[in-house]
Amino acid sequence: MKKIGFRVRYNVPVMDDNFTLYKTMLLIRRFEERLLSEFTTGRLVGTTHAYIGQEADAAGIFSITEPDDVIFSNHRCHGHFLAYGGEPYRLAAELMGKATGLVGGRGGSQHIHYRNFYSNGIQGGIVPVATGMALAEKVHATGNIVLAFVGDGTLGEGVLYESLNIAALWKLPILFVLEDNRYAQTTPVEKGMAGSMSGRFTAFGIPVWERDTTDVLDIRSAADETLRAVRSGAGPACLILHTYRFSAHSKGDDPRSPEELARIRPFDPLTVHGVRLTDEECTKAESEVSIIIEDAFSRAEADPFPMLNLEH
Amino acid sequence: MTTVLDRLNYALLHAMETDERVYLLGEDILDPYGGAFKVTRGLSTKFPERVLTTPISEAAIVGVANGMALRGLHPVAEIMFGDFTTLIADQLVNHASKFRWMYNDQVRVPMVVRVPMGGRRGYGPTHSQSLEKMFLGVPGLKVVAANALGDPAELLTAAIADDDPVLFIEHKLLYARSLLELGKGDLIDFKVDNTGGISPAFTLRPMDSARLTLACYGYNFELARAAALDLLMEHEVFVEIVLFSQLSPFDLEPLFLSLARTRKLLTVEEGTLSLGWGAEVVARAVERMGGLQVRRVAALDLPIAAAKSLEDAILPLVQDIVRSALSLVN
């Protein structure tokens, strides 16, 4: 899979080569780490759901989406947003509750919107909305497709299955991306799910591509096949990515043992993909990302808080 | 005679003819059936591409409509029975009503959800309720109710043209009702003030000074008028009636004007009494006007029975309104 495209990211055209993929993942990693640390300084309130460990999913998928594709993400949306090409500064400002945030401080971590990117914090409820968006794109013949991101925990929500049925019935251009990080908050998949994960989609006639990998190139390759399938007009498709979440569900709620965390650490997507880069390239990525993160958070911190305007 | 059903059907037809962004979604809405209450009859024949019959998936119907609206279409979803709005609550409360505000006014959700509500047809506990009170006071969600005085077609047309989500309440017993005409029938004894606007309120003023204001919406306007007639003929009590088309957000100015004259308020609704529409109306009226005498007529706090004798005992009847009115004025 050699597809390489130009895209606009932070207003700078870049190529999705090995370095860029690594840098995208590193940006997500360092952004989330900075975010978690900011909670201890008191500059951030509320909650967050870090994407640490899952970076390859977003980096791989968004390296080959089209600029006008429509994205519906969930509570764990920062990684998707940054890989989509969203501005780290605007996200940082939103998380700090600043007027300059993506949605002026009204949404916070889980409820953001930028261009064709949307997120909401209700498990499952986003899926019929994304399905309706796919219908609108089909009606308007835009050629855009919709990507709806769900997790293994979302498989417990009934409206997901209503939506799969309708998406398949009406042959809608939507890709369901199921990121299985093996835990619904603290509940392991085997305690929350009976039957087959892929069978939930194939039961509706939705073709499934399934990968158990944290290698961004493998993920990009699988995503490319699924995106082609959806763009062909054949109807929805599903991409199941079995991955690992290294951090807690949100901030401190992680009952997993240190042994388990150590066992999954070798699957770190930065390690897996980092071997393809030279030491100099890794250092360069660190240095560039560090500048972006510092700029994002320092600018955001200086920004004003929003005021409630009841004239609205 | 033009019925409420005719006008609703016409509004949908007109919207589809004049705006290709308008889509209909719902269960069993295709011809020849045309929907459980026939509101969509004829439309799938005229617009086969834009009338979408759905599986029995209320949450997804409204969710899909939500997504269509976010991306530039104007969907009108039908929920077959208002009782099933429990199944769409998440889509209304956590999605449709939130998007515009939580995305900092960068999006619009021009979506209408039509729901037949109400009892008195012996359908029993889960097909007879008036659940609209559960959706009042949800920020970002407008709730309107059709009635036989204002033109239901205009109300629905305005809802479809609205930038924001609208929950559109249709009482089942209204469908077959003929539209009322000013100066005719039992309206002959009233002067009717109309606030105008896209969801107008009407104030019916009797020929002599009124001792009481009845506040109502939807089908209960039919009961309120019957009660007013009885109060006049049997008890020589003149009442004003304020009829609302918009339930939420609350805009009670016409009621306050009436209460300035009568100082007595009786609310009439078919939902259960506790924490209902009337409770909020009374609270706001008292906050605004001070020292009023108030009462509420509503359904008993019970599930609605199928047997007619029980249903009649549970839902408000004309005589319940008369009795409460007399207790207020005497």
pLDDT at A248: 85
Closest residue of chain B to A163, computed from CA coordinates: B60
CA gyration radius, chain A: 19
| Cα(A244)–Cα(A252) distance, integer angstroms | 17
Distance CA A110, CA B169 (A): 32
Q: What percent of chain B has pLDDT over 70?
A: 100
**pLDDT value at A8 more than 90:** no
- B:64-83 residues touching chain A, CB 8 A cutoff: 64-73, 75
- Report CB contact under 8 Å: A133, B95: no
Please return the burial class of A159, using the count of CB atoms within 10 Å of its CB with bins 0-12, 13-18 and 19+.
buried
CA–CA–CA angle B131, B317, B295 (5° rounding): 75
Instruction: Say which of A103, A133, A162 has its CB closest to residue B70.
Output: A133
Dist CA B192 CA B12 (whole Å): 28
Residue B254, both tokens: 């016409």
The Cα A180–Cα A149 span in angstroms is 11
pLDDT classification of B316: cutoffs 50, 70, 90: very high
**B residues 151-190 lying closer than 8 A (beta carbon) to A:** none
Our CA-based measurement puts residue A284 at a distance from the nearest CA of chain B, in whole angstroms, of 35
Which class is domain B4-174? alpha beta
User: How far apart are the CA of A148 and the nearest CA of chain B, in angstroms?
Assistant: 12
Residues in chain B, total: 330
Which residue type, as a one-letter code, is found at position B172? Answer: K
> How would DSSP label each residue in A57-96?
HHHHHHTSS-TT-EEEE-SS-HHHHHHHT--HHHHHHHHT
Residue A40: pLDDT band by 50, 70, 90 thresholds? confident
- Which residues of chain A are within 8 Å of residue B59 when distances are taken between CB atoms? 125, 128, 158-159, 162
pLDDT tier at B130 (50, 70, 90 boundaries)? very high
Q: What mean pLDDT is predicted for residues B194-201?
A: 94
Residue A250 confidence (pLDDT) above 90: no
What pairs with residue B76 in β-bridges? B24, B112
Least confident of A10-19, B118-127, B212-221: A10-19
Shortest Cα distance, chain A CAs vs residue B121, angstroms:
30
pLDDT score for A142: 96
* Model pLDDT for residues B275-299, shown as the tens digit of each residue: 999 999 999 999 999 999 999 999 9
Say if the Cβ atoms of A132 and B107 lie within 8 Å.
Answer: no
> Rounded to whole angstroms, what are the CA distances from A40 to A44, A47, A251?
8, 12, 11
Q: Is the pLDDT of residue A311 over 80?
A: no
**Rounded Cα distance, B139 and B102, in Å:** 11
Percent of chain A with pLDDT over 70: 94
Say yes or no: do domains B4-174 and B185-329 share a fold.
yes
Q: What is the pLDDT of residues A112-138, one digit of tens each?
A: 999 999 999 999 999 999 999 999 999
Domain boundaries of chain B, sorted by first residue = 4-174, 185-329
Q: Is 70 exceeded by the pLDDT of residue A12?
A: no
Q: Which whole number is the average pLDDT over A137-148?
A: 97
Distance CA A32, CA A35 (A): 5
Distance (Å, rounded) from C-alpha B135 to C-alpha B10? 27
Rounded CA gap, A111 and A117, in Å?
10
The yes-or-no verdict on residue A13 having pLDDT over 60 is no
* CATH number assigned to the domain covering B185-329: 3.40.50.920
Q: Kindly tell me if the per-residue pLDDT of A14 is higher than 60.
A: no
Average pLDDT, chain A: 93
CB B275 within 8 A of CB B236: no
Bridge partners (DSSP) listed for residue A210: A240
Instruction: Grade residue B274 by pLDDT with cuts at 50, 70 and 90.
Output: very high
- Given a cut of 70, whether residue A35 has pLDDT beyond it is yes
Q: Is the pLDDT assigned to residue A4 strictly greater than 80?
A: no
Q: At A141, is the secondary structure helix, strand, or coil?
A: coil
Partner residue facing B94 (CB), from A102, A122, A170:
A122
Task: State the pLDDT at residue A41.
Answer: 85
CB contact under 8 A, A120 and B57: no
Mean pLDDT of all residues in B41-60: 98
- In sequence order, which ranges of chain B are alpha helices (DSSP H)? 4-18, 43-46, 58-70, 89-90, 97-102, 152-161, 220-235, 253-262, 277-289, 308-314, 318-329
- B107 in contact with chain A, both atoms CB, cutoff 8 A: yes
Q: What is the ipTM of this complex?
A: 0.96
Does position A309 have pLDDT exceeding 90, yes or no?
Answer: no
Among the ranges given (A14-23, A134-143, A162-171, B188-197), the one the predictor scored with the smallest mean pLDDT: A14-23
Residue A312, pLDDT above cutoff 90: no
For residue A75, what pLDDT is reported? 94
Contact between B155 and B245 (Cβ < 8 Å): yes
Q: Are A210 and A182 in contact (CB under 8 A)?
A: no
Structure tokens at A172: 């809608």
Kindly report the pTM of this predicted structure.
Answer: 0.95
Does A48 score more than 80 pLDDT?
yes
Query: Is A132's CB within 8 Å of B67's CB?
Result: yes
Most A CBs within 10 Å: which of B103, B105, B109, as the mutation test of the A interface? B103
Q: What is the pLDDT of residue A219?
A: 97
Other CB atoms closer than 10 Å to residue B19's CB: what's the count? Answer: 12
Cβ pairs bridging A and B (under 8 Å): 115
Assigned CATH for A6-302: 3.40.50.970
d(CA A88, CA A33): 13
Q: What residue in B sits closest to A129 (Cα-Cα)?
A: B67
Mean pLDDT over each residue of chain B, to the nearest integer:
97
B76: chain A residues, CB-CB within 8 Å: none
pLDDT of residue A54: 97
Q: Tell me whether residues B63 and A128 touch, CB distance under 8 A.
A: yes
Q: Nearest-CA residue of chain B relative to A120?
A: B95
For residue A127, give both structure tokens.
Answer: 């899926």
Tell me the C-alpha to C-alpha distance, in Å, between residue A42 and each of A46, A93, A96, B53, B160.
10, 14, 10, 52, 46
pLDDT exceeds cutoff 60 at A104: yes
Residues in chain A: 312
pLDDT at A1 over 80: no
- pLDDT for A44: 84
In chain B, residues 180-239 whose CB comes closer than 8 Å to chain A: none
